[in-house]
Structure 1
Amino acid sequence: MDMLKGDIESRQGQTTTLLPDDLVVDIMSRLPLKSFCRFKCVCRSWFAFSSDPHHRQRLPRTPSGLLYQKRLLGTSIHLARLPSSDRDIDTTLSFVPCSVYPLKIKDVSNGLLLSYRKGNTHAEISNAIVCNPATEEWMALPDTHPGPTVTRSHLRLCFDPQWSQHFYVFNSEWGLIPTGGFKAEVKVFFSEDSTWSNCLCEIHDAFWGGSVFVNGVLYVQHVWAHYLLALDAPNTCSQLINDRTIQLPGFPNKPEKFDCPDGCLCQSSGVLCYAQQELDGCMMRIWSLEGSDRWVVKHRLSMNGVFGREMLLRTDNRGAWYFDYDIVAFDLERELVIVVDRITHKVFSVSVGTGKLSKIRDDIQRPLGYYYVPYYCKFPALAR
């Protein structure tokens, strides 16, 4: 051990002769962020890996914070930064050409952003772009020519670098059916060949809630029912998209006289996770999906006294109960939950391990927020 230590110290800024650089980087890329931040202080060579542009894209990534945009038309994109975030990334997207309207953020997936170049969220798909703020690359999506029966179009950006180096965009074109209710046809854009697929999937229920993409599967929450739609990412030769539904754990989002958002989805180490307050709001549970449909409780986080008050439930003017804080995002690898205090209009991060509260930003009117972790790899499909 003393000989190894001496070798490390003598080769300042270089890796040891025991392992090749690529193998060291591969090992370090499998570490959780917390362990990596501790181990990179072992020697100068390991610290150098964390700043090397070639290796950095494979190492654990530091989250920047919460991307949000105020609901008023014409407002710009903002970043509520975490204390350890990178500060050299243009999250305002000034590198994307924009003529009349500012960009409107629509979705975020593992460092890539989907935005509209018009203020209208139901704009034609030809006004949508996908970009990477970390590398300042972007591309406009080609139009799928939606038919006249379409009442709204929902785009979902899907990118998981641990599963594929290509991204997808799922387009759900919703319309009314004569017997009542909704019907949607789903098409998929492939960045690999920059085309929309001919594969189709028909949906006959209101799945346009929150979503997350994990290991090649897009999970979308139902608007009011307590379950998910799971869509498998097809290949370019597929004609159909496999789909199934999964019951969510916890309680339904609208029990009698109770009005609250239906929890929050995320991924952690390639596993789908779900967080939701308990009925009194004083506890938060976080589950992981084990297998195809079994939910296992991973954490139970006390929120008692976190905001300096004991009562975390309130009633509106109709007498309906609601939580006075929302779960916006969470990250089990970084052991944090991001919440918005609806009373003080502040964004906080809460430590899963200690329950400690850290303020991120003031004066936010319940933003539509997206958890942002930069991705430094370049995409051939995106043009600078």
Structure 2
Amino acid sequence: MDTSFAFLPNHQQFDLLDSCYGLLLCRLYNVSAEVGKCHYVVCNPATEKWVLLPDSGQDSVNACLGFNPALSSHFHVFELVEEQDNYISGVAVYSSETGVWVYKENRWNKRVMLIELQPSFVFLNGYLHFQVDGHDFSRYLAVVDTDGETWMNFSVPGGLLNGFIQHSQGRLHYANFQRDEHGGVFRLVVYVLENYQSKEWTLKHSVETSYILGRTDYCIDGFDWIAIHPECNLIFFTIGQELKLMCYNMDRRQLKVICNLEGVTPPYLSYVPLYAELEALHI
């Protein structure tokens, strides 16, 4: 696989924005266009096929990809459109099936904004999921579908802050650190969303940070969530000034060092090659 992405059209710079089931969403800066002019490109590095998306007409810096080859050969791109005060005013959605963008105004029952830290987006069951701050200073999970018709928001487990969401084994997972009820012990906890109707989270895993990290808190240089394995009970994160990539096995309660990522800058995107040919992509 060509990791230089030389198969993309002529450019000086591009940003990797998101990864979803073997497809990548990039922001491409055209060398011949005016300064700051850019376009979205969805590509498959395994087949070197790509498609340039039309302009959405929105001024947005937050975009993410929705795709599941088990359900459809078509993909969606979501743009979160923000007001001047950073609250989300609506969502623009591009469909590779129709080839057009559709904008829908915010239909959540509250005003929300993206969290200040590096946001994580999860596409699962036809919905885009991401964490937001409400105007009441509470943390929520915002959900919107590909048609912009279904909008939901509900609380994260235990009102925790700065957690991490991923899909694994067909369900939405939420990982974070939590102090126990006596206030003396920090634990790494993993919750699973059982269904959207009850909006209830079930605790899947809990382990003391002293057991896996060797200390009673989690304020460690270089700590950053990377991924939860889509099929196994594995959590990946970085730790330390050398940015060691670690893998924690929830079943065995074992921690393993994979490699050092020193010199590599986020965002870190998990990627599994997709070798299927998609009509939605072309050279």
Q: State the TM-score, normalizing by the size of structure 1.
A: 0.62
Partner residue of 1:105 out of 16, 22, 26 = 16
2:125 pairs with 1:226: no
Q: Deviations over 1:93-151 (max 9, x none)?
A: 222123222x21111112111111239xx955x521011112111111100223xxx4x
Aligned mate of 2:229, from 313, 331, 334? 331
Residue 152 of structure 2 is aligned to residue 252 of structure 1: no
In the alignment, what sits opposite 1:201? 105
Asked if structure 2 preserves the Cα contact closer than 8 Å seen for 1:201 and 1:241, the reply is no
User: 8 Å contact 1:186–1:202 — kept in the other structure?
Assistant: yes
* 1:376 correspondence with 2:275: yes
State whether residues 160 and 167 of structure 1, in contact with CA within 8 Å, keep that contact through their aligned partners in structure 2. Answer: yes
The residue type equivalent to 1:265 in the other structure is I
Deviations 1:274-301 (A, max 9, x none): 1112237853111111111111112224
Measured in 2, the distance between the counterparts of 1:219 and 1:281 equals 30
Going from structure 1 to structure 2, the CA distance change for 1:123 and 1:370 (only over 3 Å counts) comes to farther
**In the alignment, which residue of structure 2 is the partner of 1:243?**
151
Aligned counterpart for 2:169 among listed residues 258, 269, 279: 269
Show CA shifts across 1:157-179 (max 9, x none).
11122332211011222222xxx
Name the CA shift for 1:118/1:271 in 2 (closer, same or farther; >3 Å).
Answer: same
Taking structure 1 as reference, are residues 135 and 250 closer, same or farther at Cα in structure 2, changes over 3 Å only? farther
AA paired with 1:207?
L
2-structure distance, mates of 1:269, 1:313 = 27
**Cα contact 1:268–1:333 (8 A) shared by 2:** yes
How many residue pairs match? The answer is 263
How has the CA–CA distance of structure 1 residues 342 and 294 changed in structure 2, closer, same or farther, with 3 Å as cutoff?
same
Residue identity matched to 2:78: F
Counterpart CA distance in 1 for 2:185 and 2:274 is: 34
Which among 71, 80, 89 is matched to residue 184 of structure 1? 89
Query: Does the aligned pair in 2 maintain the 1:225–1:252 contact within 8 Å?
Result: no
Q: Aligned AA for 2:193?
A: L
Measured at CA, do residues 271 and 162 of structure 1 come closer, stay the same or move farther in structure 2, by a change above 3 Å?
A: farther
SS of alignment partner, residue 144 of structure 1: coil
Does residue 1 of structure 2 align to residue 92 of structure 1?
A: no
The verdict on how the C-alpha distance between 1:364 and 1:99 changes in structure 2, with shifts beyond 3 A counting, is: closer
Structure 1 gaps of 5+ residues are: 1-88, 235-239, 254-261, 315-321
Corresponding residue SS for 1:348: strand
RMSD value over aligned CA atoms?
A: 2.7
Is 1:161 matched with 2:69? yes
Cα distance between partner residues in 2 of 1:362 and 1:324: 10
**TM-score scaled by structure 2?**
0.82
| Aligned equivalent of 1:12 | none
What's the counterpart of residue 353 of structure 1? 251
CA gap of 1:332–1:242, structure 2 versus 1, over 3 A, is: closer
C-alpha separation in 1, matches of 2:280 and 2:234: 33
When you count strand as a share of all residues, which structure comes out higher?
A: 2
Distance 1:383 1:206 in 2: 35
Whole-angstrom CA distance in 2 between matches of 1:265 and 1:245? 14
Give the match's secondary structure for 2:188: strand
Partners of 1:281 and 1:346 in 2: CA distance: 24
**Looking at CA atoms only, which structure, 1 or 2, has the larger radius of gyration?**
1
Which amino acid in 2 is paired with 1:145? G
The one-letter amino acid paired with 2:281 is L
SS of residue paired to 1:166: coil
The change in CA–CA distance for 1:350 and 1:91 in structure 2 (over 3 A counts) is farther
Summarize the Cα distance change of 1:332–1:137 in structure 2 as closer, same or farther, 3 Å threshold: closer
* Deviation sequence 1:36-64 (CA, Å, 0-9, x none): xxxxxxxxxxxxxxxxxxxxxxxxxxxxx
Q: Is the 8 A contact 1:110 1:159 kept in 2?
A: yes
Structure holding more helix per residue: 1
Alignment of structure 1 residues 239-318 onto 2, 5 Å: 240-253=148-161, 262-279=162-179, 282-292=186-196, 293-307=199-213, 309-314=214-219
Equivalent position SS for 1:138: strand
| Offset, 1:365 | 6.0
Q: Relative to 1, partners in 2 of residues 1:183 and 1:99: Cα closer, same or farther, differing over 3 Å?
A: closer
